[in-house]
Structure 1
Amino acid sequence: MSDISRTASPADTVRTTGAGATLVHAAPSASDDAHTIMINKVSWGAIFAGVAVALIVQVLLTMLGMGIGIATLDPGTVDNPAASTFSIAAGIWYVVSGLVAAFIGGYIAARMSGKTVATTGALHGLTTWAVTTLIVLYLLTSSVGALIGGVFSGVASAVGGLGSTIAETAAPALANADPLQALENQVAATGTDPDALQANAVNAIRALVTGDEAGADEARQQAAQALANARGIPVDQAQQQVAHIEQQYRQTMADARQSATQAADTAASAISTGAILAFVALVLGAVAGWLGGRSGVVHPVYADRVVPTRRRAA
């Protein structure tokens, strides 16, 4: 029996035989390639429009949150929210407003691009979110960002300022209990020592507490003798006072070192937590942009029937 062929589509052919019908795929035509390129082509004009809308929405929501937060303060009373509460609330509001802005920007970009494929529209929304994020990061790390949002620009400098944070945290402990100054005050406690003898005793005890362990015994003997000469007391009594002064110095240095370590741990924990939260917020923003772009895709019926009809009516 002879074969009978009929056209199924511009690119495919259905071959009918006695055993049944077989679909034979033909090579894509030039019109098919052009159609694929058109439905997947990036519309940068639509993306920039989505970026503009997303930035404006972000600014509007940030101003709204700021206004609501300031309105809750009452200067006439002390019953106001704590600063930590404001920081947490501001962070949550900033993340939520970023998600809303990413969704709206992605929706606008996909809708204005006129794409009818859901994945293409979603990619337009994701690209809109990416460009918006880059612009926001640039603003936060530039002088313009310092004027617009100085509160959030501190995140970028937090990592580099870890050493200064440690020093500032440990500074009060060192300022309130300077070990060498306390040592000098203890030596001059009587107020009747000759200046030369007092200076000799101070220098001897300084050499003891700042020296190495190899010559510590000899340094203790010299410090005790110098203190005994300065105060006119027996050497054994001076040795007890030197031991007490040395112990206080060691304890003060240990406390200062512990304060610095705690400050470093606190700063590192805060930076780590902030980085993780920022990562989560960015991922959620990308998801919001993707969903916004997917929601903004033009339905094929609207694109193929409604729009041409309007053009013919015009």
Structure 2
Amino acid sequence: MAAAHGSSQRDLHDVPPAKRTRVSWGAIFAGAVVAVAITLLLTLLGVGGGLLTSDAITGADGLGLFAAIWYVISGTCGLLAGGYVAGRLAGSPSPRDAVLHGLTAWGLTTVFAAWLATSLAASLISGATSLAGTAVQATGTAVGGVASGVGSATGQVAGGALSAAGGALGAIDQIPLPDVDWSKYGSMANDLIEKTGADPAQTADEMGDQPVAAAKDFAANVRKWVEGEDSVTQEELIQVVTSNSGVSEAEARKGLDEINSAYTTAKTEATEAYETAKAEASDAYGAAEDRATQAYQTAKTEATEAAQTAYEEGTDALGTAALASFAVLLLGALAASFGASLGRPDEDEFRTRG
């Protein structure tokens, strides 16, 4: 009777050591399938509930926090159930065997989830390639300006001021030396001619035997003299006037001196106006150059600071995401292990299995 009873029961110690610890891949795959299915089921539940109650959640931050919490809950519950199934179906009453089967089921689930996420990301990237290319082409002009170093964003800021500066610099050489209106002083020369009895507007044939044969060229010669040409001297002009009229030498000299003084004063004023304009143009160029340099440096500093800030924020975000992923995976491993411990058969149940 005892033998019959013993034949219907088995003791853990009656099992050969080589067969006490074995890997049940069926149990592992079953646990992984259950974990994925329950996780998917709870995820759909969370998505549906979240969308239906989205009005009660304030802002995108609140919705994102809800999604993250529900993701952790659904994953943990799925792995807990998967670990339970793996530990139960492994059939070993050993806590170590159960935990190892639960951890293996967790690892298989994690690998599958990583593969699925990678495939999905690859599909999204492949599908968005043409759209991204179009967007890059559409924004190529704007991005191309800022692509190298600080880029055209700073170059355009400085370029506007430098363009104005260049215009001011070019204007320096384009400022003409103002010419003196000779008509005012030519009339003074003609007054001297009229005292000789000649009319400068007459032609040589019309003048005939009038006293000044060269009256028509007198004003032009006076202009050459006041402008400093060596071909005409004041004495020659005085001689022309005095030898052909009753004008005295002193009166002729006085008239020519008045013409020369008035013309020299006008010329000086014109030269001073030119120098003033040139100095103002130089000052404008210097100011524009300073503004351009300052604008460039400011834009360069701002671009550098923005890039540094973006880099720091990006690394912080990646670090936070890595730590969060580590915590979630660790929680999943613990859940799968705990579920496997709960699901393992005890020794009494193991003995009664035929």
Match of 1:303?
Answer: 350
Match of 1:27?
Answer: none
Distance in 2, matches of 1:66 and 1:181, equals 48
Instruction: Kindly provide the CA deviation profile for residues 88-133 of structure 1, in whole angstroms up to 9, marking residues without a partner as x.
Output: 2212211221111111101001111211111111111111101111
Q: Which has the higher contact order (CA 8 A, sep 6+)?
A: 2
Equivalent AA in structure 2 for residue 260 of structure 1: A
For the pair 1:82 / 2:129, whether they are aligned, the reply is: no
Match of 1:100?
Answer: 77
Q: 1:80 to 1:128 in 2, by over 3 A?
A: closer
Match of 1:249?
Answer: 296
The match for 2:160 among 177, 185, 188 is 185
Equivalent AA in structure 2 for residue 299 of structure 1: D
Instruction: Kindly provide the CA deviation profile for residues 34-76 of structure 1, in whole angstroms up to 9, marking residues without a partner as x.
Output: 52232211111111111110000110111111111111234xx
Give the fraction of aligned pairs with identical amino acids, expressed as a percent.
31
Equivalent AA in structure 2 for residue 51 of structure 1: A
Match of 1:113?
Answer: 90
Instruction: Kindly provide the CA deviation profile for residues 184-212 of structure 1, in whole angstroms up to 9, marking residues without a partner as x.
Output: 333556xxxxxxxx8xx28xxxxxxxxxx
Structure 2 unaligned blocks of 5 or more: 1-11, 126-142, 176-277
For the pair 1:284 / 2:331, whether they are aligned, the reply is: yes
SS of residue paired to 1:178: helix
- 2:161–2:288 CA contact under 8 A, matched in 1: no
For the pair 1:122 / 2:99, whether they are aligned, the reply is: yes
Trace 1:24-173 onto structure 2 (pairs within 5 A): 35-74=16-55, 81-143=58-120
Match of 1:167?
Answer: none
Match of 2:283?
Answer: 236
Shift of 1:85: 2.2
Distance in 1, matches of 2:174 and 2:334, equals 76
- 1:177–1:252 CA contact under 8 A, matched in 2: no
Distance in 2, matches of 1:83 and 1:258, equals 28
Distance in 1, matches of 2:309 and 2:35, equals 41
Shift of 1:252: 1.0
Equivalent AA in structure 2 for residue 73 of structure 1: S
Tell me the number of residue pairs that the alignment of Structure 1 and Structure 2 aligns: 220
The match for 1:259 among 306, 330, 333 is 306
Q: 1:80 to 1:49 in 2, by over 3 A?
A: closer
Q: 1:101 to 1:230 in 2, by over 3 A?
A: farther
SS of residue paired to 1:255: helix
Distance in 2, matches of 1:84 and 1:113, equals 43
- 2:162–2:288 CA contact under 8 A, matched in 1: no
Higher strand share: 1
- 2:171–2:281 CA contact under 8 A, matched in 1: no
- 2:80–2:335 CA contact under 8 A, matched in 1: yes
Structure 1 unaligned blocks of 5 or more: 1-30, 154-170, 190-197, 203-223, 309-314
Moved over 6 A (4+): none
Q: 1:227 to 1:127 in 2, by over 3 A?
A: farther
Distance in 1, matches of 2:92 and 2:13, equals 16
Equivalent AA in structure 1 for residue 28 of structure 2: I
Distance in 1, matches of 2:315 and 2:60, equals 21
Shift of 1:229: 5.2
Distance in 2, matches of 1:62 and 1:229, equals 77
SS of residue paired to 1:115: coil
Equivalent AA in structure 2 for residue 142 of structure 1: S
Coordinate RMSD, CA, aligned: 3.2
Distance in 1, matches of 2:122 and 2:40, equals 15
